[in-house]
Amino acid sequence: MVNPVQPQATTDLLPIIDLGLYLENPESPEAQAECKKAADAIRDYGALIVKDPRVTEKDNNDFIDMMEDYFNQPFDVKLKDARPDYGYQVPSRVTPELTEDPKCPKDPHCLDIIDHIPEKNRPLAFDGPDPKWRFFWRVGEQPPTTNFPRLNAEPVVPEAFKDTWTSTMDVWGNTLHCGVLGLAEMIAVGFGLPSKTFVDMARYGPHLLAPTASDLNKYGQVGTVLAGFHYDLNFLTIHGKSRYPGLNIWPRNEAEKLAVRVPDGCLLVQAGKQLEWLTGGVVQAGYHEVIVNENTRRVMDNKTNDRPLWRISSTFFLHMASDSMLRPLEGVFDTEEARKAKYPKTYTGDQVRAELGLIKLMEH
């Protein structure tokens, strides 16, 4: 019998996109071919690996070190950085463990997807809320005016880290931001759109460096679900390397579960709901989970340093601007089929607020 905790394949199967070719000369035949490869990958898999020459292991390690130290603080100290009156997923604040509810148990479409996944590749059963913390840190330009001020609030800087927090978060956050913006250009070109189509819509978006943190001293048993099966509500999600395995993703057909392995100098990118909306469903938002499996446990048991035993995700959410309009893009994706699907014209900020309400991170 196949062990449901241990995936049978890895993200080594995903296409690797060389962003460096595009950065060097976006008009070159090699870069143009790579753009087509990126668009095909995000359409066919809902995910890809991007190789970015600007990504360094040092910046990722500095970031994870600080996150481990921050989340290893006492509960009450961290709670001072929460702002539940604003809605938790608002830049920038912390959300405590057992706050964020996976949407899937309340979503018939998501439950139907699980029912159609072969049993050996299904996500682990979960009923929420997730036993993970998260910190949201705003990256990028603030909008000069907005109808969604709660989605564009000022950041929180934890008191014990006031001398290093902003610089460390900004260095790694800007690296991920630049990487995913470059990829967004490549995807646009690959789909036959002007290169700045998605980048222009993302200007002033409430982009978030949003690491999750799970206390493996408390939740380190094999089979524990740290983040239940879900998709992301934003445009693109980009992940750096984590020190502990456990992130699984499902490609477009949802038939196979892939354990995430991010090569050095690379990042994992997954499509979010806003990209699905703008493409009229040509690209589908990707599903994923975070669990404790045998590989997680092996790394824990072989740990030789005295670093805090917290699993940190290196996650960045690229958003369309809150005041931009979500609808299938004219010309390429505004088809009769898309118009019949569930992609009505709506403000991005309204889409975000509705999704946050479903996962209990914001009151309507």
Q: What is the CATH number of the domain that holds 142?
A: 2.60.120.330
Residue 18 has pLDDT above 60, yes or no: yes
On the question of a cis peptide bond just before residue 155, with omega within 30 degrees of 0, the verdict is no
Range from 41-55, 242-256, 319-333 carrying the lowest mean pLDDT:
242-256
Query: Residue 173 — very low, low, confident or very high, per pLDDT cuts 50/70/90?
Result: very high
Look at the chain and report how many structural domains it folds into: 1
207 burial level (CB within 10 Å; 0-12, 13-18, 19+): buried
> 57-71 vs 165-190: helix axis angle to the nearest 10?
130
Paired with 289 in beta bridges are 248
For residue 219, tell me if it sits in a domain.
yes
Paired with 315 in beta bridges are 239
**Per-residue model confidence (pLDDT) at position 336:** 82
Q: Which of 147-151, 154-158, 197-201 has the highest mean pLDDT?
A: 197-201
Between residues 335 and 66, the one the model is more confident about: 66
**Per-residue model confidence (pLDDT) at position 89:** 45
Range from 26-40, 110-124, 297-311 carrying the lowest mean pLDDT:
110-124
For residue 341, the enclosing domain spans: 9-358
Percent of the chain with pLDDT over 70: 91
Alpha-carbon distance values, 63 to 54, 104, 140, 211 (Å): 15, 30, 18, 10
For residue 326, tell me if it sits in a domain.
yes
Give the CA dihedral 85, 89, 94, 98, nearest 10 degrees. 90
Q: Rounded to an integer, what is the distance from CA 263 to the centroid of its chain?
A: 17
Nearest of 168, 189, 160, 150 to residue 356 by alpha carbon = 150
pLDDT in tens, 8-17: 789 999 999 9
For residue 163, tell me if it sits in a domain.
yes
* DSSP three-state, residue 255: coil
For residue 4, tell me if it sits in a domain.
no
For residue 153, tell me if it sits in a domain.
yes
Mean predicted confidence (pLDDT) in 180-192: 98
Q: What is the CA radius of gyration of the chain?
A: 19
> 165-190 vs 29-44: helix axis angle to the nearest 10?
100
Please give the Cα distance from 128 to 177 (Å, whole number). 30
For residue 3, tell me if it sits in a domain.
no
Nearest of 20, 348, 46 to residue 179 by alpha carbon = 20
Q: Which residues contact 260 (CB under 8 A, 6 or more apart)?
A: 10, 11, 239, 245, 247, 248, 249, 268
Which is it for strands 16-18 and 47-51: parallel, antiparallel or unpaired?
A: parallel
Nearest of 20, 349, 37, 15 to residue 190 by alpha carbon = 37
